[in-house]
């Protein structure tokens, strides 16, 4: 017996009245799975606290989240008169599949609860009296569900909607244009719903930026988004596991586990059965290149939200190392800006500080210079602490903003004076010359371009750092080596995010992935590289090799450190001349030509 008084509650309405089609092609009552139960709790919490629903959903494939959202949408349109809803999908096949859910919901309703339907076609389901004359007396619900393809940019500009479901937003070609033409049609009124639901698709684009703002809003006093972000890992879905046939199969699996599988088991508490399912799913992608299949799995079935947004190109830096560092990132202890009077606190300021200047330490301040116009590339500053008793390079501050190149020179000098007269390393490409000219008029400690030969190295009269096709590979490969040796301490999540979307290019150097940025990365790499040969007698990696065995164990338990140390010991610093300006051809490992490792002795 249906309790009519409880039909307004979706967790009662769904299992009692709605039917869904399963993977096994069966039509069964809509009973929530654990993933849907989690979303239901968040949905109901938002309704209680705000009166409306604004949710960003980042998910793994086939967890039933689209089904839940469609069920909520259908429930509201058939229980509340005059409710308009729209669904936007990224392509036409998805449009038909999602809309078929609503049609099935209607067909399988008991006759007593099935509303009148005026018409149903490929893009619209209208709940009204089909008899126009009788409609004057009993018009029906006057509710409707419409579906659109994301290719129709102005699809729902007309307005009059209370519910919007944007499906696979990360794959929309013109997401920002389309969102601005649809979302304003839904007012911030009680009972209204806007849900953005998608799997990840690279570290750029509308949804990626929207997701990051929603996450920041959870921590910031000043809200950057109305949306609540919720991520669903594949590890949360109970069907994603493959049992072993026998004990021997289980033991064989354990013996053949790779480093990533061990990492997932340790960090996310994955069971062996879940990892066994994962291994089989990677094989299902049928990729010739194993690493491509694994990266495809990361995107389709991520363990966390960072893994969902994989770079589209081939990552230059070790993704595993970066994710480990990202897990240790922390919020700045202070935010604000630097001026002639020192540090001025401001929670929305461009300067993030993790450690103020310490008297006994020296600092290096590299900078990437932008044009200074809003919408263009920003200017960035990194502040790195020069190692003393160990080779660890620690980032202590970061600045990012849009500022005139001349004023940026003054900003760098103020920062350098505050950090114990730090050495400034401005990139001198393009607008950097303007910044450098300002700096050298008012400050003394500026990086001088280096020339290296087999016996000694010389300082030139040229100031600043010039990035070119010859010198950029030096920055990239040296930073990658330091990362692999676990001697980098990075506090900035923004920097890690840029490093994750920094990909290899055809010259075997690195660059920002499509529609991404590398301004923070460039400043950081310039700092790491120039710090190594201006403040040390040998390379930082060589210094790491001089540590006693017990000190190495304290630094990290990673086996690759020992490999790096052994490689450094085999280097012959007298093999070839190296001029930063002329450069050399690099091999597939991002290092110098085979046999030439003299650059590591900067």
Reported as a single tens digit per residue, the pLDDT across 406-431 is: 999 999 999 999 999 999 999 999 88
Report residue 178's pLDDT band, with 50, 70 and 90 as the boundaries. confident
516, pLDDT greater than 70: yes
What pLDDT is stored for residue 596 in this prediction? 35
What pLDDT is stored for residue 154 in this prediction? 54
What pLDDT is stored for residue 543 in this prediction? 54
Report residue 568's pLDDT band, with 50, 70 and 90 as the boundaries. very low
Share of the chain above pLDDT 70, in %: 84
552, 350 in Cβ contact below 8 A? no
CA pseudo-torsion sign 206, 209, 212, 217: negative
What pLDDT is stored for residue 595 in this prediction? 33
Lowest-pLDDT range of 82-86, 261-265, 555-559: 555-559
What pLDDT is stored for residue 582 in this prediction? 39
pLDDT digits (tens, 9 = 90+) for 89-135: 988 778 888 889 999 999 999 999 999 998 778 788 999 998 888 88
pLDDT digits (tens, 9 = 90+) for 236-253: 999 999 999 999 999 999
Report residue 26's pLDDT band, with 50, 70 and 90 as the boundaries. very high
What pLDDT is stored for residue 327 in this prediction? 80
Rounded distance, CA 203 to CA 306, Å? 9
pLDDT digits (tens, 9 = 90+) for 132-159: 888 888 989 999 999 988 876 554 455 6
CA pseudo-torsion sign 568, 571, 573, 578: negative
First to last CA, the chain: 81
452, 286 in Cβ contact below 8 A? no
For 54-83, what is the mean pLDDT? Answer: 94
22, pLDDT greater than 80: yes
What pLDDT is stored for residue 5 in this prediction? 93
315, pLDDT greater than 90: no
What are the angstrom distances between the C-alpha of 40 and each of 47, 68, 263? Answer: 11, 8, 31
pLDDT digits (tens, 9 = 90+) for 517-543: 899 999 999 999 998 877 654 555 555
Report residue 599's pLDDT band, with 50, 70 and 90 as the boundaries. very low
Kindly report the pTM of this predicted structure. 0.69
CATH topology of domain 334-601: Nucleotidyltransferase; domain 5 (3.30.420)
For 17-33, what is the mean pLDDT? Answer: 93
Highest mean pLDDT among 56-65, 89-98, 169-178, 533-542: 56-65
Task: Please give the CATH number for the structural domain made up of 4-232.
Answer: 3.40.50.300
Beta bridge partners of 54: 194
Element (H, E) at 208: helix 206-217
Rounded distance, CA 38 to CA 236, Å? 10
591, pLDDT greater than 50: no
For 308-325, what is the mean pLDDT? Answer: 83
Mean pLDDT for the chain overall: 84
Q: Which residue has the higher pLDDT, 177 or 295?
A: 177
What are the angstrom distances between the C-alpha of 473 and each of 336, 467, 476, 517, 601? Answer: 34, 9, 5, 18, 16
Rounded distance, CA 568 to CA 598, Å? 10
Rounded distance, CA 155 to CA 139, Å? 26
Rounded distance, CA 485 to CA 544, Å? 9
445-473 exposure pattern, b = at least 16 Cβ within 10 A, e = fewer: bbbbbbbbeeeeeeeeeebbbbbeebbbb
Domain boundaries of the chain, sorted by first residue:
4-232, 247-310, 334-601
């Amino acid at each position: 017996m249906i309790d009519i008084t409880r039909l307004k509650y979706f967790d009662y309405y769904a299992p009692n009245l709605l039917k869904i089609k399963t993977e096994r092609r069966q039509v069964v009552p809509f009973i929530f799975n654990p993933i849907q139960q989690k979303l239901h709790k968040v949905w109901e919490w938002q309704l209680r606290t705000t009166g409306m629903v604004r949710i960003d959903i980042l998910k793994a494939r086939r967890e039933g989240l689209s089904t839940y959202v469609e069920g909520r949408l259908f429930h509201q349109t058939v229980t509340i008169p005059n409710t308009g809803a729209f669904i936007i999908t990224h392509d036409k096949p998805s449009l038909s599949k999602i809309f078929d859910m609503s049609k099935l919901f209607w067909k399988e309703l008991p006759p007593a609860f099935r509303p009148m339907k005026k018409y149903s076609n490929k893009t619209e389901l209208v709940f009204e009296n089909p008899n126009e004359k009788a409609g004057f007396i009993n018009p029906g619900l006057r509710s409707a569900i419409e579906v659109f393809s994301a290719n129709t940019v102005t699809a729902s500009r007309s307005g009059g909607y209370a519910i919007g479901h944007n499906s696979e937003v990360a794959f929309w070609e013109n997401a920002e244009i389309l969102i601005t033409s649809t979302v304003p049609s839904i007012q911030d009124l009680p009972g209204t719903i806007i849900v953005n639901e998608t799997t990840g698709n690279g570290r750029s684009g509308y949804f990626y930026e929207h997701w990051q703002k929603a996450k920041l809003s959870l921590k910031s006093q000043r809200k950057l988004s109305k949306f609540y972000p919720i991520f669903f890992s594949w590890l949360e879905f109970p069907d994603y596991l493959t049992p072993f046939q026998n004990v021997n199969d289980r033991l064989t699996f354990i013996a053949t586990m790779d480093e990533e599988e061990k990492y997932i088991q340790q960090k996310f508490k994955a069971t062996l059965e879940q990892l066994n399912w994962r291994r089989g799913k990677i094989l299902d992608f049928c990729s010739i290149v194993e690493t491509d299949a694994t990266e495809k799995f990361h995107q389709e079935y991520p363990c966390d939200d960072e893994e969902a947004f994989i770079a589209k190109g081939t990552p230059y830096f070790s993704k595993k190392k970066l994710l480990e560092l990202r897990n240790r990132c922390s919020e700045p202890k202070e935010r604000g800006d630097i001026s002639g009077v020192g540090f001025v606190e401001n929670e929305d300021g461009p300067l993030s500080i993790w450690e103020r200047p310490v008297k006994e330490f020296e600092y290096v301040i590299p900078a990437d210079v932008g044009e200074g116009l809003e919408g263009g590339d920003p200017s960035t500053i990194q502040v790195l602490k020069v190692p003393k008793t160990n080779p660890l390079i620690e980032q202590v501050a970061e600045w990012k903003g849009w500022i005139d190149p001349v004023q940026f020179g003054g900003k760098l000098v103020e920062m350098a004076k505050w950090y114990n007269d730090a050495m400034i390393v401005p990139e001198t490409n393009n607008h950097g010359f303007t910044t450098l000219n300002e700096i050298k008029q008012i400050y003394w400690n500026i990086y001088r371009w280096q020339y290296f030969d087999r016996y000694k190295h010389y300082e030139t009269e040229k100031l600043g750092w010039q990035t070119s096709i010859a010198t950029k590979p030096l920055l990239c490969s040296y930073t990658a080596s330091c990362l692999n040796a676990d001697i980098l301490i990075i506090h900035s999540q923004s920097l890690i995010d840029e490093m994750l979307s920094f990909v290899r290019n055809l010259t075997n150097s690195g660059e920002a992935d499509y529609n991404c940025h590398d301004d923070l990365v460039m400043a950081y790499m310039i700092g790491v590289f120039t710090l190594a040969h201006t403040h040390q007698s040998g390379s930082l990696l060589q210094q790491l090799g001089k540590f006693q065995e017990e000190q190495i164990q304290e630094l990290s338990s990673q086996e690759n450190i020992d490999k790096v140390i052994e490689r450094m010991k085999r280097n012959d610093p007298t093999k070839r001349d190296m001029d930063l300006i002329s450069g050399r051809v690099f091999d597939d490992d991002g290092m110098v030509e085979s046999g030439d490792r003299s650059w590591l002795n900067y």
